[in-house]
Structure 1
């Protein structure tokens, strides 16, 4: 697992100075004698998940953007990038882009709403982030309730526990307006954050999911996000069968079908058929489920998804669907891949977002 840590060292510095925030007034706040509390708050967070497990790599930026607090805690880390003498949003965005290029599973950032906006401007919605609250106002929903809570949330994640994720709003107040006594809060965007939620939620019956309803919700979530110019390869199984049924398309229960514009293109295809199809279409996605009990994603009953097919489609174009009841029956085990190509299996090993309901998903680690 890879974690990217970035600090906005000037976050919250305007609060003690009575400046209603820090955006654009950090030097003024420093002249008033304000001291940054970001490093102290980040240390509180980091101590909650020390020592780092051997399978966790921490990346951070130099100096006050992360390396200093890691050094103070004797926390092993890889320092990447460079910063200006006086850090700005440009440095934050550079760090975030660097983390994205490194393929980190989680960006842990310390700051306020302004920092959250920097992330919103820079990362894709699939990138999981978590905010350590260090700002003045913080109206966004991407922050933990306090630094200790952020650390405990990360600890759960690095220990490999099943995690839900959700899209949370980024909101910001115009601080110049606020200083003039006018509150002008507005929606800025959304970020993907871990969610500390009950394992079974929203759709319950006697404490358990109503399987049929949940399957319909999963199908609705996939269909609502389908693009007419995208080719979808639908994997085998009863979970994906509900999706095909909702589309009104006859499916191959134990085979693989191809659809486009919500119509059947090819049914019960072979590996060779698939490779020809993906070679002739630019935008292709796989919709697949986990084998119940076993937990296999590839390599069991769906060998049509060969290494060359998966590589042609791209590992970021794999949509996984499953009910949380099915995932719970894995008893904490990860999802497995066995494509026959060790290098590809290693590439597939990541925290995978699994659609578990309508506008609801869960994170589970893929292993080989």
Structure 2
């Protein structure tokens, strides 16, 4: 039986339909404009889909509008583990402290998943509370806020319920929030506020980050995960070039370089990982000869075409690919401009084995599922 903690932010999204571009600090104004609570309905939609899967689940919830009401409305009998500190009427004045208290209660009762209903602000509260508990319980958001810039949300409420019942694995997701005052002034300024474990599922939305630095943060993410003694085959292009720079050397812009991490390599925060270039601008034979026991090929798809292998990086031979783990990296903008990823290694059997869904790194922590056709 899967134990799921459900927490609802009853006021999330109230400012959207009345043009407030967010609800933070604007609840009373939203009500004066005639706003109606949105989150309870979306919570019921997610939980109705969860019930419809027939999965064996136990729901934990805070009382009233913070979860128990929605659960009972679709036929669940939730275990009530607490209550909001303020008003408990639908749309009542619950607080971020109530959300965090609910998360602490779920962690104490060994929940397998926290299903929360709200927007990015709620996601921040949930993720930070999980961290406060020194826990790695995965979280999954039911989108109910005005703006959703985090990758821990399902694309729609119904999909959230289905994923909650059926997920089998988790990965790291980004929790971003936007400055609502700037947003109301037509400026989008997002900030990475937390990272959290979240279910692996095609029905999750991608993170949205704006402004410069996406290539830089992606490169930092690769460098932070460098493994001691591992050999890295680094393909051509600007995105991978940023990774080479993060590893401490000037790479060959249109060539393939090979870099090996020191056996005792450990990276402190902000430090450059230690290692050495063993092949610069190498051909296939040079690269094959440089491979070690653990190898990682890092490549970025060709913009507009989507080729991961076979265009501009033929030096990365089928032999190299077979002996390596593949890390595909790309900015969100590049992926958004592609209909699919493609391979043309010259080896039909290898091409076939590479087809299917792959996790493409698009940020410091986030990966997006993309199909190689």
When the two structures are superposed, what TM-score results if normalisation uses the length of structure 2? 0.51
Query: Gapped runs of 5+ residues in structure 2?
Result: 87-92, 204-224, 231-263, 267-291, 295-358, 368-373
Is 1:31 the counterpart of 2:32? The answer is yes
Q: Could you give the per-residue CA deviations for residues 47-67 of structure 1, whole angstroms, max 9, x where no partner exists? A: 222168685211000000011
Query: After the TM superposition, which parts of structure 1 deviate over 3 Å for at least 4 consecutive aligned residues?
Result: 1-4, 51-55, 219-224, 358-361
- Alignment CA distance shift 1:222-1:188 (3 Å): farther
CA contact (8 A) 1:2 1:103 kept: no
> Measured at CA, do residues 196 and 51 of structure 1 come closer, stay the same or move farther in structure 2, by a change above 3 Å?
closer
Partner of 2:119: 112
TM-score, L = length of structure 1? 0.52
2:16–2:146: 8 Å Cα contact kept in structure 1? yes
Q: CA offset at residue 142 of structure 1?
A: 0.7
Change (3 A) 1:194 1:221: farther
Query: Does 2:165 align with 1:122?
Result: no
After superposition, give the CA deviation of every residue in 1:115-164 in whole Å (9 maximum; x if it has no partner). Answer: 0110122113621110000000101111000011111212324xxxxx23
**1:8-37 CA deviation, whole Å, 9 max, x = no partner?**
000001101211111111121112110011
Q: Which residue of structure 1 aligns with residue 162 of structure 2?
A: 152
Residue 164 of structure 1: aligned partner: 169
Determine if the alignment matches structure 1 residue 179 to structure 2 residue 184.
yes
Task: Report the count of equivalent residues.
Answer: 212
**Structure 1: which 5+ runs fail to align?**
158-162, 199-218, 230-244, 248-355, 362-368
CA contact (8 A) 1:141 1:168 kept: yes
Per-residue deviation, residues 228-250 of structure 1 (Å, max 9, x unmatched): 99xxxxxxxxxxxxxxx969xxx
1:139 to 136, 139, 149: 149
For each residue in 1:212-257, what CA deviation from the matched residue of structure 2 results, as whole angstroms up to 9, or x when unmatched? xxxxxxx976999xx999xxxxxxxxxxxxxxx969xxxxxxxxxx
Q: Is the 8 A contact 1:48 1:155 kept in 2?
A: no
1:212 is matched with none
Structure 1 CA distance for aligned equivalents of residues 60 and 265 of structure 2: 39
Q: Displacement, 1:74? A: 2.0
Partner of 1:77: 78
Paired position in structure 1 for 2:104 = 97
SS in 1 for 2:82: coil
* CA root-mean-square deviation: 3.3
